[in-house]
Structure 1
Amino acid sequence: MTKRWLVTGCSSGLGQALVARLAAEGEQVVATARRPEALADLSARYPGNLVTAALDVRNPAQCAAAVERAVGAFGGVDVLVNNAAYGQFGTFEEVSDAELAGQFETNLFGPWRLTRAVLPLWRAQGAGHAIFVSSVAGTVPFPGLAAYNASKSALEGAAESLAAEAGHVGVKVTILQPGGFATGYSANLAIAETRIADYTPVSDGMLGALRAMNSNAEINPPELFADVVWRLSRLETPPLRLPVGPDTEAFLEASYDARRSEYDQVVKAGHHRLA
């Protein structure tokens, strides 16, 4: 069955690979980007089932207009993919209020407002699938990515709440947790204006690893992400959480094991009864 898609952050990387795959499969797609001219080739290649729209998820009017574009072009939305995001690099002390606000405005508030704009359509039709592109960084802390970690953790919490609130009206929710992908993430990484030398022993290695991602021939290709999302959309009962990429297993298992071990130790020692 053909689905109607609204996807954010499609000018490059995961979003571009995804909308190309969807259009090739015959799906009806609204591909969005802050600069929609970057999608001209895709639009020309799939003129019958892919349309574009200008969308900066920080702009409420553009969020509303993107939903209206989907309704006008295809009659509605069946799947929303909240993909648009960027990384803010800087340790906890280095990131300013303005830098922190910018990170949350794009990575949390934008997906929230766009999903909120689509929910009336889904309540009316009794079905819809909200896909939130998080990261392993939503679970696993990385030095120098405190703001990014926080924004993705918050996104996952919001998505889990949406699943609990809207499941009874037919809304499905999936949180994707990609590992490392060749997406240009490091090229678009925002670096905190303030740098503090005391943190370089823990942050510089992380920054170097991020900058080396696109030159790593073994890193996951965006087409892998697109294939996972395509197959996910065919499931009658999609999972709430889905790691994406073979490199995610080691990160997530180590994090879950550490949390469980600490929980067991705290409970055994009785520290949870201190209150």
Structure 2
Amino acid sequence: MVRRWLVTGCSPGLGEALAAAAARAGHRVAVTARKTAALDDLAAAWPGRITPIALELRDAAQCEEAVRTAADRLGGIDVLVNNAGGGLFGAVEEVSDAELRDQLETLVIGPWRLARLVLPLMRAQGHGHIVNVSSLAGRMAFPGLGEYVAGKYALEGMSQALAAEAGPRGVRVTVVEPGVFATRYGTSLTEAGRRMPEYAEPTGAMLDAFRVMADDAESGRPEDFAARVLDIVAADAPTPLRVPIGDDAYAYVDMAEQAAREELAAARALVQGPPRL
């Protein structure tokens, strides 16, 4: 079955790999980036299957135009993949209101807006699939990434509500949670404008780890991520709302689930029984 995809954030990384895999499989794909020059290689490799569209996710008018253009060029939209994102590194006390707002515009408001724009199309045709690309940071927190974690937790919460709302109307919702993939995420991290020596110890080692992570030989291949997403979209049977991708992702999620169980047990022990005072 040939599907019509709209994939955001298709400069090199997971989005580019997914768009290429979808085009290779015979699908038609509208791809976005802030500057369409970043999409030239994709368009040249798959003429007739790739439609480049300029999109600044924080611009509401551009989002509307991107969805309209994709629907017009492709004849509709069957799959929306909210992949575009970006990372800001800084402790909670270091991050300004403006920096936080900018991060949440990209990680939460933009995907929410695009979902809202494609839903009338999907409901009218009686089917559709919204794939929101989250992260392990949607399950667990990391020092120095509070703003990114907040965005991914919000994206996952929105997705859970959306699945309950849109599922009965034929629209599937999936949150994919990639582990470590070679996407240059660590090297592209920007730092908060204010850095404080008080937080050097808990955040410094984490930042160093992120800087080298994308170049680690053990990092996953974006092509493998893309193949898994194609499998999820093609699946006939109902799929889980949240799907970690990558062997390391399952190890981290297991750790997060165990920590949550231990926290719940500690909370129960704290508040159950007669008050101490």
Common fold, TM-score beyond 0.5? yes
1:178 is matched with which residue? Answer: 178
Could you tell me how far apart the structure 2 residues matched to 1:272 and 1:110 are? 45
The answer to whether the Cα contact below 8 Å between 1:130 and 1:174 also exists between their aligned partners in 2 is yes
1:254 is matched with which residue? Answer: 255
Mean Cα displacement is larger for which, 111-120 or 183-192?
Answer: 183-192
Aligned positions, number: 274
User: Does residue 1:265 correspond to 2:240, yes or no?
Assistant: no
Deviation by residue 1:178-237 (Cα, 9 ceiling, x = unmatched): 111111212221201111111111100000001002321111111111111111111122
Q: How does 1:76-95 map to 2 (within 5 A)?
A: 76-95=76-95
2:131 is matched with which residue? Answer: 131
The answer to whether the Cα contact below 8 Å between 1:266 and 1:272 also exists between their aligned partners in 2 is no
Runs of 4+ in 1 over 6 A off after TM superposition: none
Unpaired stretches in structure 1, ≥5 consecutive residues: none
Q: How far is 1:238 from its partner?
A: 2.3
The answer to whether the Cα contact below 8 Å between 1:2 and 1:26 also exists between their aligned partners in 2 is yes
Mean Cα displacement is larger for which, 212-221 or 135-144?
Answer: 212-221
Q: 1:53 to 1:272 in 2, by over 3 A?
A: farther
Deviation by residue 1:120-176 (Cα, 9 ceiling, x = unmatched): 001111111010000001111111101001110011001111011111101100011
Q: How does 1:80-229 map to 2 (within 5 A)?
A: 80-229=80-229
Q: What SS does the corresponding residue of 1:40 show, helix, strand or coil?
A: helix
Mean Cα displacement is larger for which, 62-71 or 142-151?
Answer: 62-71
Letter in 1 for 2:189: L
Q: How far is 1:246 from its partner?
A: 1.0
Could you tell me how far apart the structure 1 residues matched to 2:134 and 2:214 are? 19
2:53 is matched with which residue? Answer: 53
Q: 1:89 to 1:272 in 2, by over 3 A?
A: farther
Q: How far is 1:271 from its partner?
A: 4.3
Q: How far is 1:269 from its partner?
A: 4.2
Q: What SS does the corresponding residue of 2:185 show, helix, strand or coil?
A: coil
Q: TM-score, normalised by structure 2?
A: 0.96
User: Does residue 1:19 correspond to 2:19, yes or no?
Assistant: yes
Unpaired stretches in structure 2, ≥5 consecutive residues: none
Q: TM-score, normalised by structure 1?
A: 0.96
The percentage of aligned residue pairs carrying the same residue is 49
Letter in 2 for 1:11: S
Q: 1:43 to 1:273 in 2, by over 3 A?
A: farther
Q: What SS does the corresponding residue of 2:214 show, helix, strand or coil?
A: helix
2:62 is matched with which residue? Answer: 62
Q: How far is 1:40 from its partner?
A: 1.2
Deviation by residue 1:83-139 (Cα, 9 ceiling, x = unmatched): 000111001111110110011000100000011000000111111101000000111
Report the aligned-residue RMSD.
Answer: 1.4
